[in-house]
Structure 1
Amino acid sequence: MLFFSFFKTLVEHEITVELKNEVCIRGTLKSVDQYLNIKLDNASATDELRWPHLSSTRDMFIRGSVVRYVHLPQSAVDTSLLEDATRREAEAAKNKAK
């Protein structure tokens, strides 16, 4: 659940989604759900010469099961907040195991 919450903080940031079929799509994150289904606005393929059929689509819904990686802008990631949340989640899991 930690990563779902983390991705929710990136709404309205530009991200690049790399799909399992090697297509990379860049756009503005509009929404994400617990299955990593992603909605992008102003989306475009990073290599439009290789994927010209994607140039006509600007709003995209990407099913989470086809996502390989999500590339994030470094400025959008609050590493201290993420580290703290990870520590809390690990502590909660440790306490639950007792």
Structure 2
Amino acid sequence: MFRTPIGRLRAIGIYEGISFLVLLLIAMPLKYYADLPQMVKWVGSLHGFLFVLYLLAVAHVTIVHRWSILRVLAAVVASLLPFGTFVLDSRLRREQR
């Protein structure tokens, strides 16, 4: 899966999407309802790192596969929406076949 630029984007997108969901659904409630703000600090830092890797992977795919600006924008928007990277992954998987 990591051998091609699209494979790397798919893998990083999955990890980034999982970290986003953990941040939203576990760390944030723990911060506000259980008074554990350190969870947001750790999960947020990991998510930020994965988000930057995701953007770099999108840039690499854009250069190698000459993605249009609309596809790049769709990939960036997908990273901002819960479950968005999973939807993008299913479309990229379909295209690879």
TM-score, length of structure 1 as denominator length:
0.29
Whichever of the two has the greater Rg, that structure is 1
Question: Which fold has the larger relative contact order, with Cα–Cα distance below 8 Å and residues 6 or more apart in sequence?
Answer: 2
Query: Higher strand fraction: Structure 1 or Structure 2?
Result: 1
TM-score, length of structure 2 as denominator length:
0.29
Query: Higher helix fraction: Structure 1 or Structure 2?
Result: 2
